[in-house]
């Protein structure tokens, strides 16, 4: 899923490790989210959004994702 996590993290002057500590995740998890290799749970996305005082939709760009949603995959939508 496309996201603006790196942009917000750097604007706040945080390293991946610092952000991870604030939300209870590893630096590797933050890196994986930023590089679109991992989609965070709704609770993790919520915690991230609270750190930056933004909505989940401000950080995670659902409409721009090329990956099909799980619902689309289960229905066989192409």
- Which pLDDT belongs to residue 36? 95
CA distances from 52 to 4, 8, 11, 16, 67 (A): 11, 7, 9, 14, 25
Considering the domain delimited by 5-75, tell me its CATH architecture: Orthogonal Bundle (1.10)
Distance between alpha carbon 40 and the CA centroid of its chain, in Å? 6
Where exactly are the structural domains of the chain? 5-75
Question: What's the pTM value of the predicted model, to 2 decimals?
Answer: 0.79
CA distances from 58 to 27, 49, 71, 76 (A): 21, 8, 22, 29
- Which pLDDT belongs to residue 75? 72
- Which pLDDT belongs to residue 71? 62
Q: How confident is the model at residue 6 (pLDDT cuts 50, 70, 90)?
A: very high
pLDDT digits (tens, 9 = 90+) for 21-64: 999 999 999 999 999 999 999 999 999 999 999 999 999 998 64
């Amino acid at each position: 899923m496309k996201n603006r996590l790196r942009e917000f993290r750097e604007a706040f002057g945080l390293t991946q490790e610092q952000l991870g500590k604030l939300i209870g995740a590893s630096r590797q998890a933050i890196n994986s989210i930023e590089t679109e290799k991992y989609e965070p749970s709704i609770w993790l996305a919520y915690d991230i959004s609270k750190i930056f005082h933004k909505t989940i939709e401000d950080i995670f760009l659902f409409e721009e994702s090329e990956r099909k949603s799980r619902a689309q995959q289960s229905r066989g939508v192409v």
